[in-house]
Each structure stands twice: as C-alpha cells, then as structure tokens.
Amino acid sequence: MPFEGVHRVGHVGIWVKDIEKSLDWYRNVVGLKLTGLWGEPYRKDRQCFVRCEDWHHDIVFFEINKEIDRTTLDSSDTGKRHTPGVHHIAFEIPAREDWLNALEHCKKSGIPFVSGPYVHGHEAKYVEGDDTLGFVGGSGSHAFYITDPDGNRLEFYTWMMKVTKECVAAPNPDF
Ligand SMILES: [Fe+2]
C-alpha cells in the first residue's frame, strides 16, 4: 500500500556554492523572503530558509562545503553530495495520522531512513554532534527522509509552522 494523505510538494532543498549570492538572487529576482540564515554555532555547514508567503520555508539553501574530502562523499543520497542541484524534495502530509502511518510503513517494509525521523525544531531534544535534532532554526515539523531509486532524497513532513512574527525559528525575517 502506498502512503496516504501526501498533499503536495511543500518545499525543496538545493545545494548552492555561495549562500549570500543565492539569497540575494532569490530575494531580488524571484521576490522570496528570508526566514533565517543559520551557521555556527547552530550548524556546521550553513543553511538558509526562504519563503514565498508565510510557510516557514519553500526553499532551503544548503551551502556546499568546499573543504570537505570529496572522496568520502556518499553519492547514493543527494543530501550528502555537496554539488550544485537538488538536496531534497519534501512532501507535506498534513494529517499526523497519515504521517505516522507512512513512517510505520517504512519501518515495517525495511525502507531505510537516510535521516530522521525527528522533530525539526527548537523544542526537540538536542544531541551533541547531531545538528538535525533540536535545531533552533527548524520549523517544528516532524520529518523523515528516504531516497528514491536514483538517490534523490525525499522528505515527508507534517506540522510545519508559519512565520507571522519574529521568533527563535525566524529571528530577523523579511515581511
Ligand atoms: Fe526539508
């Protein structure tokens, strides 16, 4: 049985060479709004959330780490490739029950998770060395990540926040 309740592609993550350059371009050409740009001490590699309207993010920029040892990169998962292009494609499952059933289906079927499941937000438990947990800039969504047959990382999430005012997950947003 396939997942039920998959509503839409909710956001995409892309690898970028220069995060300020990408932010500037998407703001000035496409008219997207900044939610937050995060790096140290919250994340080792920089990450930037931008949005069209009020959902926390519609695109996420992941800055390519130019220092990384490229011979050790895992090419079976776009989320680990550090090359320009897709990082992940995220599907929204609005109902928590459907999201939990999809998660359970993956567990029972032995579909491997490349990341998660976890709560992608400030309210989650922080684990030293794992910047995917308890990330202060996260949208509060519950998410898990698998790959398609070509290694494209797919995220399935529920409960993303909206940005209507300043808060810890959107400290200095464009409005
Ligand atoms: Fe995502």
Q: What is the pLDDT of residues 9-24, one digit of tens each?
A: 999 999 999 999 999 9
Cα 170 to chain centroid, rounded: 15
For residue range 136-168, list pLDDT tens digits in order: 999 999 999 999 999 999 999 999 999 999 999
Q: What is the pLDDT of residue 132?
A: 66
CATH 3.10.180.10: does it fit domain 8-158?
yes
58 C-alpha vs ligand 1 centroid, how far in Å? Answer: 9
108 C-alpha vs ligand 1 centroid, how far in Å? Answer: 23
Q: What is the pLDDT of residue 133?
A: 72
Q: Quote the percentage of the chain above a pLDDT of 90.
A: 85
Instruction: Determine contact, residues 83/71, Cβ cutoff 8 Å.
Output: no
Phi/psi for 84 (5° steps) reads -55, 140
Cα 156 to chain centroid, rounded: 10
72 C-alpha vs ligand 1 centroid, how far in Å? Answer: 24
Phi/psi for 165 (5° steps) reads -160, 170
Q: What is the mean pLDDT of residues 81-94?
A: 97
155 C-alpha vs ligand 1 centroid, how far in Å? Answer: 6
Q: What is the pLDDT of residue 115?
A: 94
Phi/psi for 159 (5° steps) reads 70, 45
Q: What is the pLDDT of residue 131?
A: 63
Q: What's the rounded Cα separation, in Å, for the pair 3 and 103?
A: 9
Average predicted confidence (pLDDT) for the chain? 94
79 C-alpha vs ligand 1 centroid, how far in Å? Answer: 10
Domain ranges of the chain: 8-158
Cα 126 to chain centroid, rounded: 17
Please check the confidence at residue 126 and state whether its pLDDT lies above 80: no
Q: What is the mean pLDDT of residues 56-65?
A: 97
